[in-house]
A and B are shown apart, each in its own frame.
Chain A
Amino acid sequence: VPEPKNADSYDYARYHPINEIYSFQDMLVAENPKLVSKIVIGKSYEGRPLNVLKFSTGGTNRPAIWIDTGIHSREWVTQASGTWFAKKIVDDYGRDPALTAILNKMDIYLEIVTNPDGYYFSHTSNRMWRKTRKPNPGSSCIGVDPNRNWDAGFGGAGASGSPCAETYRGPKANSESEVKSIVDFVKSHGNFKAFISLHAYSQMLLYPYGYTKTPCKDDTELHSLAKKAVTDLASLYGTRYRFGSIINTIYQASGGSIDWSYNQGIKYSFTFELRDTGRYGFILPTNQIIPTATETWQALMAIMNHTYKNPY
């Protein structure tokens, strides 16, 4: 199979194994050295690099936006969308006034394969794999749900203490290097203003909290921003999203990423559940990838633009 020669010839409308996504990242950096760089923030349990693409037009420690896709490995449309976002950022900088203004003041960090071991495993051994791949001592069941492993209500209701459960929280907060690497990176950076995690599927845009019924102090603003974002998203294909706090919109979930990021002081913390055609679940057909990414980009831009225009 011939490798794509450049980021233009990469096929964004299909699912790619991890080595091709890694190659794509390197190509994008090589082709856009003044805008894109790759930071390795850590290693997965099996030793794969945790790559983050940094989109920056200069400056030092600028206010920044974090986006991660694919923490649950089987949600392939999220990694595919993340790849599309990376190219979109490169293509739109200097062309789209809103994105250009954002990038002239802020940096964007994008982790496309947030759970690389799980993603590799979902391609090679078990398409339905969701968790990390670290063994659990005393159990034959492997892995931790990396979206129950954050230090935000960790161990509370809405996560399992059983290693065999799909929502196993792990032995302690940040036990997974895939989570701890982000935690360390975000803390050491210290200037993130938005933190956005993308999941699939069920068409929702959610904000904190998931572990407690207590509304977050910015509930009103986040609610209104979520409403604007889902309206923009629907403008392309009419895809309807629900929105609200995690606990009120879906169910109690403890140890989630955006509860942690919000508690770190990152006000604009959101998580997406991408498109659900109603029949495919995690096996979203490839002809849905670009429509999904395109509509999601509208909502991402709404959140990023609001973050840019409302410094804090």
Chain B
Amino acid sequence: KETFEGHQVLRMYAKNEDQLALINDLEDNHEFELDFWRGVTDVRTPVDVRVPHHNLRSIKIHLESNAIDYSIMIGDLQAMLDEERMEMVSAAR
């Protein structure tokens, strides 16, 4: 079973089209193993991306070095999934 310990979902806020293009480039870059939950649309709409734990540091540095604002939407995905699983089991009982 694949688990997601330490994966975070980052919410990225592009300030302009250039930043939007930079985020878009990330989607084509398979090296970071990113999973776009909510893709790039326009500057008014944030982009949500699941980032594996081992790439968090590089992605955050990349965003910060390009002055792209972001917040942590989900701090530890696996913790949420564990909670979801426990809730399913207890509701079933």
Contact = CB atoms under 8 A, between A and B. Distances in A.
Interface of A: 1, 11, 13-15, 124-128, 162, 164-166, 201-202, 249-251, 279-283, 285-286
Nearest to A283: B80
A23 to B, nearest CB: 13
Interface string B1-42: 110100001000000000000000000001000011111110
Contact of A164 (B30, B39, B80, B84): B30
A84 to B, nearest CB: 15
Chain B CB within 10 A, most for which of A127, A202, A285, A286: A127
B74 A286 contact: no
A280 to B, nearest CB: 8
A202 B36 CA distance: 13
Given A128-B4, A128-B50, A281-B73, A250 B39 contact: yes
Contacts of B9: 281
Contacts of A283: 74, 77, 80-81, 84
Chain A CB within 10 A, most for which of B1, B36, B74, B92: B92
Contacts of B1: 124-126
Given A11-B91, A127-B81, A164-B30, A281 B37 contact: yes
Interface string B39-52: 11100000010100
B81 A125 contact: no
Interface residues of B, number: 25
Interface of B: 1-2, 4, 9, 30, 35-41, 48, 50, 73-74, 77, 80-81, 84, 87-88, 91-93
A286 B91 contact: yes
Given A281-B37, A281-B73, A282-B37, A1 B92 contact: yes
A166 B36 contact: yes
B39 A251 contact: yes
B68 to A, nearest CB: 18
Contact of B87 (A14, A202, A282): A14
B38 A128 contact: no
B86 to A, nearest CB: 11
B38 A202 contact: yes
A87 to B, nearest CB: 17
A279 B91 contact: no
B85 to A, nearest CB: 9
Contacts of B4: 127-128
16 contacts: A14-B91, A14-B92, A15-B88, A124-B1, A127-B81, A202-B38, A250-B41, A251-B39, A251-B40, A251-B41, A281-B9, A281-B73, A283-B80, A285-B84, A286-B88, A286-B91
A279 B48 CA distance: 10
B48 A281 contact: yes
A286 B41 contact: no
A166 B35 contact: yes
Nearest to A166: B35
A72 to B, nearest CB: 11
